[in-house]
C-alpha cells in the first residue's frame, strides 16, 4: 500500500507484479566482471536454494543462446561462402589453364625435363 501512495503522489506509473518481482530480484543480486578475464561473478541472495539454482541455470542458458545468436552472423557467413566459391572457381580455372599449357607444350612434369 505505501508504494501505491508514493507512486500516486509522484505521478509514477503503477508497477505490474512482474516489474515488482524484477525490482526485488535486482535488489537481491549483483553482477561483477572479474578484471582481466572473461569471467563474471553473479551473486544472488535467495532463501530457496532450488529456485536460486534453477534461476542461475536459466540465466546461463539465456546468455549462451544470446551469445550464439550474436556470434552467428548470417551476412558474414554469406560473405565467406561467396569468397570460398570465388576462390574455388579461380582454382579450377587455374588448374584448367595449367592442364591446357601441359597439353600445348607437351611438358607433363618439370622434374622429368629438368634432368
Q: What are 26-67's pLDDT values in tens digits?
A: 888 898 999 998 888 888 888 888 888 888 888 888 888 887
Residue 56 contacts residue 42 (beta carbons within 8 Å)? yes
Q: What are 62-104's pLDDT values in tens digits?
A: 888 887 777 777 777 788 889 999 989 998 898 888 888 888 8
Residue 42 contacts residue 29 (beta carbons within 8 Å)? yes
**CA gap 30, 80 in Å, rounded:** 40
- Cell output for 42: 553473479
- Cell output for 98: 595449367
Residue 69 contacts residue 62 (beta carbons within 8 Å)? no
Amino acid at each position: 500500500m505505501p508504494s501505491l501512495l508514493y507512486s500516486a503522489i509522484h505521478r509514477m506509473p503503477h508497477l505490474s507484479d512482474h516489474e515488482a518481482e524484477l525490482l526485488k530480484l535486482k535488489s537481491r543480486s549483483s553482477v561483477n566482471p572479474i578484471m582481466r578475464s572473461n569471467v563474471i561473478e553473479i551473486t544472488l541472495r535467495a532463501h530457496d536454494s532450488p529456485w536460486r539454482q534453477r534461476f542461475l541455470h536459466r540465466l546461463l542458458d539465456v546468455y549462451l543462446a544470446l551469445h550464439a545468436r550474436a556470434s552467428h552472423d548470417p551476412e558474414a557467413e554469406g560473405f565467406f561462402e561467396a569468397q570460398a566459391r570465388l576462390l574455388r572457381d579461380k582454382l579450377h580455372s587455374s588448374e584448367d589453364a595449367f592442364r591446357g599449357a601441359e597439353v600445348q607444350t607437351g611438358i607433363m612434369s618439370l622434374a622429368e625435363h629438368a634432368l
